[in-house]
Structure 1
Amino acid sequence: MNNNSTANEPHEPEKKPSLAEAISANAKVAQNADGGIDVLSTVGGVRGILETVVPGFVFILVYALSSQLSWALLASIALGVVFMVLRLLNKSTLMQSATGLIGILICALVARTSGNAKDYYVPGFLISGGYLLALMASIFVKWPLIGLLFGFIRNEGVAWREQPDRLRRYSIATWFICAVFGLRLLVQLPMYFTDQVVSLGIARALMGVPLYAAGLWFAWLVSRPANAGGVKAPEDLAG
């Protein structure tokens, strides 16, 4: 009887994640206890930063010391593999290290095909240019991409588009991220065309994750609601 009555009891429907939760999870934007953006966790934490920055830095270091493209490529790829093995040993997610290794392999293939070390950085130029164009286009059509991302994280959905102030803030926030990709191209492309390979490698390391994290943080601050946390925006105080 007990078994039958238990079997006949209605089951609670499985709770599905909200659209905001789903987009936030897919975008890998982490929040801290206060509801603000956790920049360090968003970019993968210390390990994620190392996995992103160190292989490229080792590539340019080995190349600068040996002038041997093959050795530099092997060192970069080997380091990417080491990061993946460490992830396996720690039984942690492989997504970031696997993505990083694929990126390293693509860069290595391009450089090996041309035989020129500076071409290791060509895929990065294409990615930055693609993101820059997409972000700018989203602003011009009044669907700023940072608004789509942060709006769902803040449970605003897309209702912010009906509020001129929110639309303006998210457009400005998106311009901040545009500036990140635009600055990379502005600084690094002249180095590429003038064959400053070592300087290019150092610039790529410094203007990678650290610059993106800073841009993301400023974008979050500038796009927050005027009365978020009871703090008024500067223009509100002036009024």
Structure 2
Amino acid sequence: MSASEVLGAALGQAARRAGIDPAESATTGHVVWASMGGFRGILESVLPGLVFIVVYTVTIDPASGEGDLWLSLGLSVAVAAVFTLARLIARQPVTAAVGGLVAAVVAAAFALLTGDAGNNFVPGFITNAVYGSALLVSALTGWSLIGLAAGFLLGEGTTWRRDRRKRRVYFWLAVAWAALFAARLAVQLPFYFAGDITALGTLKLVMGLPLFAPMLAVTWLAVRALHPRSAE
């Protein structure tokens, strides 16, 4: 297998594990809901960050203008740990929960080691920058990551690159996803440098799943439109 095929297979398998498979006859709403892990998945994704920002904001000392960093981070990590433990006890897949726990621990480490609550968001900035850059580069070089994943899922490998229409659609989908990650950085970084933790945390939540879900829906519909009879 070529490098592009290996990458496409890896991306496709990751998408399939997340419940995204254009070859299946599933509704758009079902696919988006499944990719977010349902109600529990949404809680696992949102609640740790929500707990951090609420506790930090409530404990802000008027004199110093800073909240209780240890308490807010400790409770955030504890919530993520509870979700992981609950899945282990129920013998359910723990990939998403463990991912959330690891992300919470890494973010907490950044903040605690520097003593700056704003650094709790640095791993997220790095993730957005890496994902956005990778998607943009893939689009500009003609090897859209969206196309590579869809090509594997639909069993056509990289032959989509010989179809001008598919190439164009996958190009713009990759650019759209890159724009989403770039928008997060453009909006949130000014609040990070200003030290406005409450606004930064709120924006992170607002620009998380509420933007991810419709973008995923558009991507799903576009790919299905390119392959209307794939299931048959």
Q: The TM-score by the shorter chain falls in which range?
A: 0.7 to 0.9
d(CA) in 2 for partners of 1:70 and 1:132? 31
Q: Does 2:33 match 1:40?
A: yes
Higher RCO (C-alpha 8 Å, min separation 6): 2
Structure 1 partner of 2:64 = none
For residue 46 of structure 1, give the secondary structure of its aligned residue in structure 2.
Answer: helix
d(CA) in 1 for partners of 2:149 and 2:68? 43
d(CA) in 2 for partners of 1:162 and 1:104? 43
In structure 2, do the counterparts of structure 1 residues 103 and 227 end up closer, same or farther at CA, with 3 Å as the change threshold? Answer: closer
Structure 1 partner of 2:14 = 26
Query: Quick one: which amino acid aligns to residue 208 of structure 1?
Result: G
Structure 2's unaligned 5+ residue stretches are 1-6, 60-66
User: Does the Cα contact within 8 Å between 1:51 and 1:80 map onto a contact in 2?
Assistant: yes
Q: Does 2:82 match 1:91?
A: no
Query: Quick one: which amino acid aligns to residue 152 of structure 2?
Result: F
Shift of 1:202: 0.8
Q: Between Structure 1 and Structure 2, how many residues are aligned?
A: 212
User: Does the Cα contact within 8 Å between 2:8 and 2:148 map onto a contact in 1?
Assistant: no
d(CA) in 2 for partners of 1:187 and 1:49? 23
In structure 2, do the counterparts of structure 1 residues 227 and 113 end up closer, same or farther at CA, with 3 Å as the change threshold? Answer: closer
Larger radius of gyration: 1
| Map 1:1-239 → 2, pairs under 5 A | 24-27=12-15, 28-30=17-19, 31=21, 34-35=25-26, 38-66=31-59, 67-226=67-226, 228=228
In structure 2, do the counterparts of structure 1 residues 36 and 165 end up closer, same or farther at CA, with 3 Å as the change threshold? Answer: farther
Shift of 1:51: 0.6
d(CA) in 1 for partners of 2:92 and 2:49? 23
User: Does the Cα contact within 8 Å between 1:56 and 1:205 map onto a contact in 2?
Assistant: yes
User: Does the Cα contact within 8 Å between 2:52 and 2:75 map onto a contact in 1?
Assistant: yes
d(CA) in 1 for partners of 2:8 and 2:141? 22
TM-score (norm 2): 0.84
Could you list the per-position Cα deviations for residues 167-195 of structure 1 after superposition, in whole angstroms to 9, with x for gaps in the alignment?
A: 00111111121122111111111111111
Q: Which runs of 4+ in 1 moved over 6 A?
A: 19-22
d(CA) in 1 for partners of 2:227 and 2:41? 33
TM-score (norm 1): 0.81
Shift of 1:128: 0.3
Shift of 1:70: 0.6
Shift of 1:218: 1.2
Structure 2 partner of 1:14 = none
For residue 221 of structure 2, give the secondary structure of its aligned residue in structure 1.
Answer: helix
In structure 2, do the counterparts of structure 1 residues 107 and 20 end up closer, same or farther at CA, with 3 Å as the change threshold? Answer: closer
d(CA) in 2 for partners of 1:140 and 1:225? 23
Shift of 1:23: 5.3
Shift of 1:21: 8.4
Query: Quick one: which amino acid aligns to residue 43 of structure 1?
Result: M
User: Does the Cα contact within 8 Å between 2:9 and 2:149 map onto a contact in 1?
Assistant: no
Structure 1 partner of 2:4 = none
d(CA) in 2 for partners of 1:181 and 1:194? 20
Shift of 1:162: 0.4
Shift of 1:35: 4.7
User: Does the Cα contact within 8 Å between 2:11 and 2:148 map onto a contact in 1?
Assistant: no
Shift of 1:228: 2.1
In structure 2, do the counterparts of structure 1 residues 20 and 112 end up closer, same or farther at CA, with 3 Å as the change threshold? Answer: closer
Shift of 1:227: 6.9
